[in-house]
Each structure stands twice: as structure tokens, then as C-alpha cells.
Amino acid sequence: MTRTPPSTRAVTKAVIPAAGLGTRFLPATKATPKEMLPIVDKPAIQYVVEEAAAAGLGDMLVITGRNKRPLEDHFDRNLELEQALLNKGDHERLAKAQESNGLATLHYVRQGDPRGLGHAVLCAAPHVGEEPFAVLLGDDLIDPRDPLLTRMVDVQQREGGSVVALMEVEPSQIHLYGCAAVHNTAHPDVVHVTDLVEKPDPADAPSNYAIIGRYVLDPAVFEALRETAPGRGGEIQLTDALQQLATSEEIGGPVHGVIFKGRRYDTGDRGDYLRAIVQLACEREDLGPQFRAWLGRYATETGLSALA
Ligand code: G1P
């Protein structure tokens, strides 16, 4: 790779990979994109778009694939529905129907050949150009009360290079994530990443810091991705391209990690998805009080609370 100095430009764009087949949720995902499955009453993708918008990233590129048309429809106006609700005078539901319009300028590109997360991110290269940009993975929901992306953008603007979001996990869980070897910095929530490995065996993991699905990346990552051979699972891994940046700071500057200690909800498989829904429903102001009361009764009646 050629020496590429890090970009010093502002972060304005977000990339949202959404081309996966969602096979863990079949049959629900046979004709419906996984990103459209509701978390309580809002599709998973809307949480992610709202998070990027809240961090000031008004230009988003969604990487889609086959059967993803409902994603595009969701962020457009549905005039027929709006008119029907207006005619009924149902302003509360009208507001809900309009919630996802105008959150950002959304662009779409198709990943014609799904060859992994790294390959999906590479599909964003022509749109992103020479600016640092954010990547948000839809399987990780970050509670809006614990803003992470804003902090990552601040760190990227101060340090240059790339920034990944890290969270400490049980050592037995590290094989599910990208894992970072780190050194401390003067800031307690920021570490310097010296190495990265995708889904290591626990015995080989350099730490228990897991990459959760938020990144702010220097555009040099595209050059690294073009040279990244298929890795874990035969796929082009984003972690492998970042490993090249982390171990050779001449390309695209350093890699830092922001350590996240806030509320994160994993929606990647059915068990995690159910837990995320129950947690979020319990915390909702409108649904929470009644739902919590029912959950408490259910746990007592079924003897579940004795197991906790
Ligand atoms: C992807 C990344 C992994 C990261 C994870 C976060 O894996 O490859 O490095 O830790 O997202 O959710 P996936 O969960 O898509 O297999």
C-alpha cells in the first residue's frame, strides 16, 4: 500500500451496511429485510438512522441488496397513509407515520455480491470519497441516552485516523466479536489500538475488548480493504483491513478505541432480539409501566423470579 496521510476533514457521512440475508430470523426474513423487524414498534434500521442523525451525520448511505425495497420505502413519505390518518383526525399516529421522513438525506447502493462486511463498506468508496466517515451496524443498538457516536467523532477529529467502539465482554464471549489489543491514553475512555483480530478463540484473544458495531474511519480503509484477502468465514472482514491500519500508522493514521460503558442492545440473534425488546419495552414511558407490572406478575406466577 502507498503511504496515505490521514484525512483531516469533518465527518459528515454515515454508512449503514444492510445487505445481509438475515437467515437467523427465518422464516420472518424470507420476504422482509431483517432491518425492518420491529424493536417494540420501530424497525431496527430507524434506530440506527436516528442515532447517526443525532450525531450530526446528515448524509447516509445504506448498503442494500436483494429484497431490501421496504427499507427505502420506510424513509419516504407514504402519502396515502398520511391522508387516511389526517381524514380520521388521528394526529398521534400521523406523527408516527411521519417520524422516519426527513431524518437525513439517504442514499442507497446495492452490494451485488455479498462478500462480507469489509466488502459492503468498500461499496461506499465512491460515495464517501476522501472524507472520514462513520459506519453503523444495525445489530447493535446504542441507547440514545448514552451517546457514543458523538464522542467517537470528537476523538477522530482530535486524533485523526480511525476510531472503533469497544466494550468489555466476558472472555468466553470474545469469539463473537472483533477484538482489540490496546494501550491506555491520557483519556480514561480512549485507548490506542495496536492490533485487531476478528473473532479470536478465547485462548488467543489479546484482550476482552470487543468491537461493537460503530466505527469512524479514515478513507484509507478503502485502500486497505481492496488488498484484504477473505478471512474468517471466507468473507472480506472490516476488522482485517483495520488491523492493517492499526499496525502501520503510515496508512491513514492511528486507530483509537472509545470504551463504551453505556446501554447497548444486541439484536443479532433471536435470543438477543427478544431480550432487547423486553428491555426497551420496560423502559418506554408509554408502554413501560403496564408491561413491567405484567412481567413481574408473569415471573412470579411461572416461578421465573425464583430462578433469577
Ligand atoms: C461484525 C464484525 C465484528 C464486530 C461485530 C459487532 O461481526 O465483523 O468485528 O465485533 O460485527 O457486532 P458480525 O456480528 O456481523 O458477525
**pLDDT tens digits for range 136-155:** 999 999 998 999 999 999 99
Ligand 1 centroid to Cα of residue 23, in Å, is: 16
Alpha helices in the chain (DSSP H): 44-54, 69-74, 79-88, 91-98, 117-122, 125-128, 149-159, 220-226, 238-247, 270-283, 288-301, 304-307
Instruction: Please tell me whether residues 184 and 295 are part of one structural domain.
Output: no
Same domain, 119 and 255: yes
Percent of the chain residues past pLDDT 70, beyond the cut: 98
Please tell me if the CB atom of residue 140 comes closer than 6 angstroms to any atom of ligand 1: yes
For residue 306, the model assigns a pLDDT of: 78
Q: Are residue 179 and residue 212 in the same domain, yes or no? A: yes
Which amino acid appears at position 4 of this protein? Answer: T
Ligand 1: centre distance to CA 192 (Å): 20
Same domain, 170 and 275: no
Q: How far is the CA of 199 from the centre of ligand 1 (A)?
A: 8
Q: Which domain holds residue 278?
A: 269-308
Cα of 177 vs centre of ligand 1, distance in Å, is: 5
- What integer best gives the mean pLDDT of the chain? 94
Distance 237 CA to ligand 1 centre (A): 9
Q: Is the domain of 144 the same as that of 223? A: yes
For residue 204, CA distances in Å to 40, 175, 181, 212 come to 38, 10, 11, 19
Other C-beta atoms lying within 10 Å of the C-beta of residue 143: 16
pLDDT reported for residue 5 = 74
Residue 145 and residue 118 share a domain: yes
| 55, 49 contact by CB (below 8 A) | no
Q: 292 in a domain, yes or no?
A: yes
Nearest atom in ligand 1 to 140's CA: 12
**Total structural domains in the chain?**
2
Same-domain status, 262 and 288: no
Pocket test for ligand 1, best of 21, 139, 168, 242 (most atoms within 8 A of CB): 139
Assess whether pLDDT exceeds 60 at residue 293.
yes
Do 24 and 119 reside in the same domain of the chain?
yes
Q: Are residues 199 and 181 in the same domain?
A: yes
Task: Decide if pLDDT at 3 tops 70.
Answer: no
Establish whether residue 117 lines the binding site of ligand 1, counting it when its CB lies within 6 angstroms of any ligand atom: yes
Dist CA 166 CA 246 (whole Å): 15
Please check whether residue 1 lies inside any domain of the structure.
no
Looking at the structure, tell me whether residues 66 and 78 fall in a common domain.
yes
Q: Is residue 7 part of a domain?
A: no
| Domain of residue 225, CATH code | 3.90.550.10
Q: Are 204 and 217 in contact (CB under 8 A)?
A: no
Q: In this structure, is residue 275 part of a structural domain?
A: yes
**pLDDT tens by residue, 164-218:** 999 999 999 999 999 999 999 999 999 999 999 999 999 999 999 999 999 999 9
pLDDT (tens digit per residue) in 46-97: 999 999 999 999 999 999 998 889 999 999 999 999 999 999 999 999 999 9
Q: What is the CA radius of gyration of the chain?
A: 20
pLDDT tens digit sequence for 269-285:
899 999 999 999 999 99
Q: Indicate if 264 and 287 belong to the same structural domain.
A: no
| pLDDT tens, residue by residue, 217-236 | 999 999 999 999 999 999 99
Specify the ligand 1 atom closest to the Cα of 20. Answer: 15
CA dist 197 and 181 (Å) reads 9
Distance in angstroms (rounded) separating the CA atoms of residues 35 and 39: 10
pTM: 0.95
